[in-house]
Structure 1
Amino acid sequence: MRTLAIGDIHGGHKALTQLLDRVDPQPQDQLIFLGDYVDGWSESYEVIEELISLARKRKQNNHTAPIYLRGNHDELVLNFLVKDQRNEQWLYHGGSSTVESYEGKSKDDIARHIKFFTENLVDFLELDGNGFFHAGFHNLNGPHHEYYKNLPYWDRSLWEMALCIDPNLSQDNPRFPNRLKLYKEIFIGHTPTTRLDSTKPIHAANIWNVDTGAAFTGPLTALCVETKEIWQSDPLVDLYPDEDGRN
């Protein structure tokens, strides 16, 4: 059995199907998607269809069910689908491609996707002593104590803090941040590693960032929690050569 954390997809359906083919999930594998399934490339609708289909097929075959975390872009798209909210900042940061992706879809199609966003997504996950988040958390006592419940899929401070920590500092050192001591390891997306000139997951303190910039110039990545083996799609700029994504 493998536990596989999968980074931000951002409308890249071609990358998603390519990555799943390369990972070749087995019946007992635990797939954990870290959120931001939409906004970027042209196939946000198709990505959600794929994720719904994946869950259905694995359930029918008595395979381990995938877990879908909520990303900040998923919250924004839900607001669009339910309330037709079209915030200008959201449209600029990938939302316009999602609006186009949903054009002409039936009310039943929209209803199925609303159900996916409202009933199938979780704000964060704690599993085997590890924490899985789209973004992170702020409260010193952990995500259960957040005043603002959307912080686990919006707040970047955990990752920014991890990047500033001396890499030689062990978790039993009193200077090691208490927030990070709540978990053996933490797996996140949200902040592309391409901002640090890397298309591979980056490890800082006890955090693994698996968002390898699929919304921009990087590939989509899956990381094995147990072994740290990685699988990647082709860069999305190659899979969608006639599009800009979020570039």
Structure 2
Amino acid sequence: MKRFMMSDIHGFYEAFETALNKVDFSGENQLFLLGDYIDYGPDSRKVLEKIKALQEIYGSQKVITLMGNHEKALLDWLEEYADINRHICGVEQYRDAEWLLSDADGDYGTLRSFLSARHFREFTEKEARLSGDSQNAEAVRLLLEDAGELLAWMRHLPYYYETERQILVHAGIAEWGGEDWLCVTSEALMVGKTTVSRGNFYKDVIAGHISTAKISGDRTYDGIWSDGSSHYYLDGTTWRSGKIPVLEYDAETGRYRER
């Protein structure tokens, strides 16, 4: 049995398709996707639809899809600004949303990928007449209308997955907890940990989130980085490299390799 792992697709559908060509779905093999499927690239919705379709074809225990910080931020934004459509007064309380059109999606690339052409045109025609809060609320209204089912599916993504050998997570865990790591690791840390862990741990920790170019100290590096011990990082900076590294684990040999 083999496990294939990748992370940080960030809306680059063609790179995702190329990476999927390296995955063998036969037998008991599994595919693990470690989060950050959206933002930066032009095809966020298309990437999510592909992942959802793969789960429908092979099952959610064969295609395991985890939450990333970009999905979490988008879902939090949706929840906060959806309330503005129900309660127009008191909008100041929503200014702490982490994912805002003016910040995370300033060029509207992610929004455009989710909306129908008609709704995106409707939004751009209205935006100049709307305040920042109203722009976000209108975008949320249209998103829920056009992609409500897809977004509902995304809301149920798990934050980690544990096997007999690995702990798979988007960003990392509180390793100081040892075998009790789950008791001391918050969901916020699982999707947002920015310190790179190194050295021995009782299981292998597989994560994305931090680019391997940054971890390696080589700005041109776009492959998988390992500390040679218990840690593997998969974020190959797809927005720059145009590729998504794939880590393969062979349960029979106990060995890893980059595909």
Question: Does TM-score exceed 0.5, indicating one fold?
Answer: yes
TM-score, scaled to structure 2: 0.71
Residue identity (%): 21
What is the TM-score normalised by the length of structure 1? 0.74
Partner of 2:164: 128
Partner of 2:257: 229
Out of 173, 181, 202, the residue aligned to residue 182 of structure 1 is 202
Could you tell me how far apart the structure 2 residues matched to 1:152 and 1:107 are?
26
Q: Which string of whole-angstrom CA distances, capped at 9 and with x for unpartnered residues, describes residues 16-73 of structure 1?
A: 11211232422421111011011110000000100110001113xxx95211111101
Task: Provide the aligned length of Structure 1 versus Structure 2.
Answer: 206
Asked if 1:219 corresponds to 2:255, the answer is no
Q: Distance in 1 between matches of 2:236 and 2:34?
A: 12
Q: Which residue of 2 aligns with 1:244?
A: none
Q: Helix, strand or coil for the counterpart of 2:65?
A: strand
Checking the alignment, whether the CA contact within 8 Å between 2:115 and 2:146 is kept in structure 1 is: no
1-side partners of 2:256 and 2:76: how far apart? 35
CA distance in 2, matches of 1:100, 1:16: 19
Paired position in structure 1 for 2:210? 191
Which residue is 2:62 aligned to? 65
Tell me which structure has the larger Cα radius of gyration: 2
Deviation per CA, 1:113-142: give whole Å up to 9, x if none: 2222122x1111111131111100236215
Unaligned 5+ residue runs, structure 2?
82-96, 120-142
Structure 1 pair 29/143, CA: closer, same or farther in 2 (3 Å)?
same
Q: 1:127 to 1:56 in 2, by over 3 A?
A: same
Give the drift of 1:91.
3.0
| 1:46 aligned residue | 46
Task: Tell me which residue corresponds to 1:118.
Answer: 155
Contact in 2 for aligned 1:72/1:154 (Cα 8 Å): yes
RMSD of aligned Cα (Å): 2.4
* Other-structure match for 1:235: none
Determine if contact 2:5/2:31 at 8 Å carries over to the other structure: yes
Post-superposition offset of 1:11: 0.4
Paired residue type of 1:182: Y
Query: Match for 2:182: what amino acid?
Result: H
Q: Name the structure where helix makes up a greater proportion of residues.
A: 2
Structure 1 unaligned regions, length at least 5: 166-170, 172-180, 232-247
Q: Which amino acid aligns with 2:191?
A: Y
Between 1:8-17 and 1:220-229, the stretch displaced more is 220-229
Compared CA separation, residues 229 and 74, structure 1 to 2 (3 A): same
Structure 2 CA distance for partners of 1:77 and 1:143, relative to 1, 3 Å: farther
